[in-house]
Amino acid sequence: MIPIYKPYLPKSVLEYAHKAVDSTWISSQGDFLYEAEEKLKQLLGVSYVQLVNNGTAATHLVAKALTYKYPHIKTLFVPNNVYVAAWNAFKYDNNVELIPIDADEDTWNFDLEKLKEAVQELDEQCAVLVVHNLGNIVDVPALEAELPDGTIIVEDNCEGFMGTYGDHYAGTQSLVSSVSFFGNKTITSGEGGAVIIKDLETANYIKSVQGQGQAKGKRYIHDQLGYNYRMTNIQAALLVGQLEVLPTIKSKKEELFSYYREEFEKIEGVELQKSMPNTAHSNWMTGIRVLGSPSFVAASEYLKEKGVDSRPMFYPMSYHSHLKDVAQSELEVSATRLSKECIILPSYPDITKQERKQVVQSVKDYVKALSV
């Protein structure tokens, strides 16, 4: 079976983890934490990065930062077809009301025209959560310019790491954003994540909250409610190693995505995500839409018989029992259609030429079977 993903872990990366173990600094202190943070700052061109234990914790800190900076904001517009952690992170504290916006069937992100209409109709300052589905980047600076003055944008950039809008990396031009380093992400620390922050005040707040709310410079004195969202030195060591081989990972994935795009564009009845102008896809996961496919289950079972693993596109909000009070199922037409017709395919850096040919041929066979 060709798996959906395998992390790129050459010996040089694993050696860093061994060094962290040998140092005996294996918990949330150690030199690799500082080194990984500094490398991320330099790579992304930002001033403030906070490493955390996973991407969901990072997105929860995005939610905390929004409330910290703008406690009067009570409405957050969100896409209605994203990984559930993006919604959960804002439900933990329930400081804002989530208003879902249906999907755009071209980009698979939320429909920007519907978003702009909804924000314009609101008589109060609000916020928008941008999620870059599968790494297809929303142009945040352009969107901000088209929204009413004072609208606050935050980003779940867990899938968009290394994608760009304009001359900037995704996640760097909003108030605050989250990054995931889960095992299936472009670079990984096993679990792990990061928060990218624009201003020093918010950065200090997030640093405190992720570390049990400890007061600055006063060990065991805590001046606010906090969490244990700290990354370990072992995770950070893996991350340092991954950042060093990132150019290789990017090159491998760019070549794979270019191959997929070229091959799938030849198949009638198959559509790819369309990117916005002035953006570059992060090349995290390749997704295709097979028009007329009866369900993801039908597609995945067929591909499995051909030896190809797959995943569905994220389901609409109404599919999740704990979010039914938020969901607006009558407004999920496009998201529902995408969840039936979209297939996420193996996208790991070291996939072989034979394996990727097998993936493409299996899709061709599935499309042909639908027409019989």
Q: Which two tokens stand for residue 205?
A: 């707040």
Measured in degrees and rounded to the nearest 5, phi and psi for residue 47 equal -95, -25
Q: Which two tokens stand for residue 75?
A: 């409405």
Measure the CA–CA gap between 53 and 348, rounded to whole angstroms: 23
Nearest CA to 110 among 72, 148, 69, 155?
155
Nearest CA to 58 among 86, 35, 34?
86
Q: Which two tokens stand for residue 173?
A: 């031009």
Q: What are the mean pLDDT values of the chain's consecutive 10-residue runs (372 residues total)?
A: 97 94 91 97 98 98 98 98 98 97 98 97 96 98 97 98 98 98 97 97 96 83 92 98 98 98 97 97 98 96 98 96 88 94 98 98 97 80
Question: Residues near 31 by Cβ (< 8 Å), separated by ≥ 6?
Answer: 23, 25, 233
What confidence score (pLDDT) does residue 208 get?
95
What confidence score (pLDDT) does residue 372 get?
73
How far does the chain reach from its first CA to its final CA, in angstroms? Answer: 26
Measure the CA–CA gap between 238 and 359, rounded to whole angstroms: 30
Measure the CA–CA gap between 150 and 117, rounded to whole angstroms: 16
Residues 81/315, Cβ–Cβ less than 8 Å:
yes
Question: Residues near 161 by Cβ (< 8 Å), separated by ≥ 6?
Answer: 135, 170, 171, 179, 180, 185, 186, 187, 282, 284
User: Residue 103 pairs with which residues in a beta bridge?
Assistant: 110
Residues 202/209, Cβ–Cβ less than 8 Å:
no
Q: Which two tokens stand for residue 267?
A: 């198949």
Helix (H/G/I), strand (E/B), else coil: 129: strand
Strands (DSSP E) contained in 170-281 are 176-180, 193-197, 270-272, 279-280
Q: Strands 75-79 and 97-101, how do they pair? A: parallel
What confidence score (pLDDT) does residue 330 get?
81
What confidence score (pLDDT) does residue 217 get?
73
pTM of the model: 0.96
What confidence score (pLDDT) does residue 223 get?
87
